[in-house]
Amino acid sequence: MRQPILKPQTSAIALGMEPVQIAAAAPRMSGQVAGDSGSRAALDRLHAAVAELKAVAVQPLLQQAVGALQADDFKTGGDLAIKALEMDERNGFGWYLLAIARERAGDFALSVKCYESALALIPDHAEVANDLGRLAYRMGMVGTAEKLFAHYLANHPGSYEAANNLACAVRDQGRFAEAIEILRPAIHATPDSALLWNTLGTVIGEEGDPATSTTFFDEALRLDPLFAKARYNRGNARLSRGDRQGALEDCETAMQAAMAPEEWLMMELARSTILMALGRVGEGWDAYEARLQPAFADVTHYLIDRPKWTPDSDLAGRTLLVIGEQGLGDEVMFANVLPDLVEALGPEGRLILAVEPRLVPLFQRSFPDALVGPHATFKVDARSVRAVTFLEDLQTIDLWTPIGSLLRRFRRTVEAFPARERFLTPNPARVAHWQSKLAPRPGLRVGLLWKSLLINSARHRFFSPFEQWAPILKTPGVSFINLQYGDCDAELEFARREFGVEIFQPPEIDLKQDLDDIAALCCATDLVLGFSNATINLAGACGAPIWLMTVDGAWTRLGSDAYPWYPQARCFSSGDYQDWTPVMAEVAEALKLRAG
């Protein structure tokens, strides 16, 4: 059996890259940022501006560059812009043309620098700020985009596109009321703009009101029946309201329109989760591969130069590298498939696991015959890149795959999920340690989770405000143990002051970093209760009893009434993002029975 060679982990500094955390590639509503620096109208305006530079020596080159861009020849346009800049490096229009050419070539990092140079040299040409803002927005630099869009709107106060773009940037930072106030006068002035109604719908939808957002998407589609993004967004809103079939119809209709590849892939990812919510699990996993396509906006690029595993690959006796992906909770949840994979590899096969660094001890204990090490993720030119730096020689690997792709072969139906007690193994000594620490706590010992650190923009609606936990926290015969990572001092004090409940804070543990010990702590409780986040996935994977509060139609339930990933899980569902009160009452009543 060939043994992979280990080496010390390469540092981010040595690689010249910035380490980052990657969240799950999730479908989201699309509030369209308007404008296109390479559009016919934009280039016509640029041609007119360049034509006025008659006293400038490089003007003929600039006009030729604009002509090349108008003919969609972005390479020639970029080359001509460079020639103009070689003659006059302080010509702002030369930098602007080069920025457009590099953006169209996919070189976003250089394009940003060119836009910045153009903006510094021709600050009165406000279109540069809008174009730079669009590119910054596309690259996830939302705060920067907001400033640039605000600059453009100040110079074009009557532009509904400028208001739309600024509202999109503000919305994506969770400032929903402010986004609405930006859109309100623009809609009043331009009520026939389908673009504005669509963006308003996304703000309301992400704020947590899918019913009202549907009304605005309907208005956008009345004004423009071929508006694909509005139809796609309406599908997301319908899914939030439990109309899975209607959501699929809207999504598939939207995908028939002509659009950029990245937009189509975004919709394909949404379609994959709708299919899974409908119970069409195998089709859903096939469509979920959209997340790996290079044109997908949030794609993670893997630095693995080896053959890629496919569902029909022969695994017996092979050496397979499996790389964790998406968010931490997804990485744990997808590990449900690993015991089946070990069986498929057989006694002569070899499994190598690259997981989030904090998960290494837990996965090494759970799969003692596998080689387990940390993956490393960096930002390179605004793109996420994941590498396996603990292996010296990747040639020892026969095949590799992101962990989520394995589900296409091993979990094509709900019935394919086995009723295993657990698939990860907590540290038994630490479980015993935490059992002794919790022993003095009277009654039923319940671990509590109420939020995710990834609550931003749309995600916040999947969690209840802490004040609504009152019926649960006041349940007699229950001792609550805090499992919530992040800053939660305010909530603990609120429970103490308003509910008269002391939530026990486990000593000497970092609830964000010490994942191996957190898994043991979860297994030392009688029950783990809360919303879906990384910790509740750890608890479920390690076999702890979990009660999961979720929404109707959550795709991870795969069209079932249960939670196939963790057979011991009990689900409590809400059909209304805006009101978790019925769910809280139901959980409180069940908890009272359990404690009794």
Measure the CA angle with vertex 27, ends 39 and 133; round to 5°: 35
**Within this chain, do residues 446 and 486 fall inside the same structural domain, yes or no?**
yes
- The answer to whether position 199 is within a domain reads no
- The answer to whether position 198 is within a domain reads no
Interacting residues of 124 by C-beta distance below 8 A, sequence separation 6+: none
527-531 and 444-449 strand pairing: parallel
- How many other C-beta atoms lie within 10 A of the C-beta of residue 337? 25
Name the 3-class secondary structure at 19: strand
**Within this chain, do residues 228 and 326 fall inside the same structural domain, yes or no?**
no
Q: What whole-number distance in Å separates Cα of residue 383 and Cα of residue 293?
A: 13
Q: For residue range 214-257, list pLDDT tens digits in order.
A: 999 999 999 999 999 999 999 999 988 889 999 999 999 999 99
Token pair for 347: 């006694």
**Within this chain, do residues 318 and 267 fall inside the same structural domain, yes or no?**
no
- The answer to whether position 567 is within a domain reads yes
**Hey, which residues does 391 pair with through a beta bridge?**
6
- The answer to whether position 196 is within a domain reads no
Name the 3-class secondary structure at 479: strand
> What pLDDT is attached to residue 266?
93
18-19 and 376-380 strand pairing: antiparallel
Cite the DSSP H helix spans in 300-423: 328-334, 338-345, 360-366, 407-410
Interacting residues of 555 by C-beta distance below 8 A, sequence separation 6+: 273, 274, 276, 277, 284
**Within this chain, do residues 241 and 165 fall inside the same structural domain, yes or no?**
no
**Within this chain, do residues 324 and 256 fall inside the same structural domain, yes or no?**
no
> What pLDDT is attached to residue 36?
59
Interacting residues of 375 by C-beta distance below 8 A, sequence separation 6+: 323, 324, 354, 355, 356, 357, 386, 387, 388
Q: For residue range 359-371, list pLDDT tens digits in order.
A: 999 999 999 999 9
Q: Exposed e or buried b for every residue in 131-169, given b needs 16+ CB within 10 A? A: bbbbbbbebebbebbbbbbbbbbeebeebbbbbbbbbbb
Name the 3-class secondary structure at 551: strand
> What pLDDT is attached to residue 454?
46
> What pLDDT is attached to residue 309?
97
List the CATH number of the domain containing 504.
3.40.50.2000
**Within this chain, do residues 355 and 323 fall inside the same structural domain, yes or no?**
yes
Strand 371-374: give its sheet, edge to edge.
371-374, 350-355, 319-323, 399-402
**Within this chain, do residues 443 and 589 fall inside the same structural domain, yes or no?**
yes
Contact 12, 18 (CB under 8 A): yes
376-380 and 527-531 strand pairing: unpaired
Q: What whole-number distance in Å separates Cα of residue 55 and Cα of residue 26?
A: 52
Q: What whole-number distance in Å separates Cα of residue 26 and Cα of residue 404?
A: 13
> What pLDDT is attached to residue 342?
97
> What pLDDT is attached to residue 34?
66
**Hey, which residues does 323 pair with through a beta bridge?**
354, 402
**Within this chain, do residues 394 and 451 fall inside the same structural domain, yes or no?**
no
Q: What whole-number distance in Å separates Cα of residue 214 and Cα of residue 230?
A: 9
Contact 196, 448 (CB under 8 A): no
Domain boundary among 412, 443, 471: 412
List the CATH number of the domain containing 88.
1.25.40.10
Q: What whole-number distance in Å separates Cα of residue 234 and Cα of residue 198?
A: 9
Enumerate residue ranges in the chain where pLDDT < 50. 1-20, 453-462
- The answer to whether position 422 is within a domain reads no
Residue among 169, 163, 155, 166 nearest 119 (CA): 155
Q: How many domains does the chain have?
A: 4
**Within this chain, do residues 184 and 101 fall inside the same structural domain, yes or no?**
yes
- The answer to whether position 423 is within a domain reads no
Domain, as residue range, for 44: 26-190
Q: What whole-number distance in Å separates Cα of residue 164 and Cα of residue 417?
A: 45
Under DSSP, the state recorded for 480 is E
> What pLDDT is attached to residue 148?
84
> What pLDDT is attached to residue 391?
92
> What pLDDT is attached to residue 453?
46
Task: Count each helix (H run) and each strand (E run) in the chain, helices first.
Answer: 26, 13
383-387 and 376-380 strand pairing: antiparallel
Residue among 174, 86, 168 nearest 134 (CA): 168
What is the Cα 400 distance to its own chain's centre?
Answer: 23
**Within this chain, do residues 236 and 326 fall inside the same structural domain, yes or no?**
no
Q: What whole-number distance in Å separates Cα of residue 421 and Cα of residue 428?
A: 15
Contact 146, 136 (CB under 8 A): no
What is the Cα 159 distance to its own chain's centre?
Answer: 31
Token pair for 496: 């103490």
pTM, entire model: 0.84
- The answer to whether position 210 is within a domain reads no
DSSP letters, 382-404, are TEEEEE-TTBS-GGG-SEEEEGG
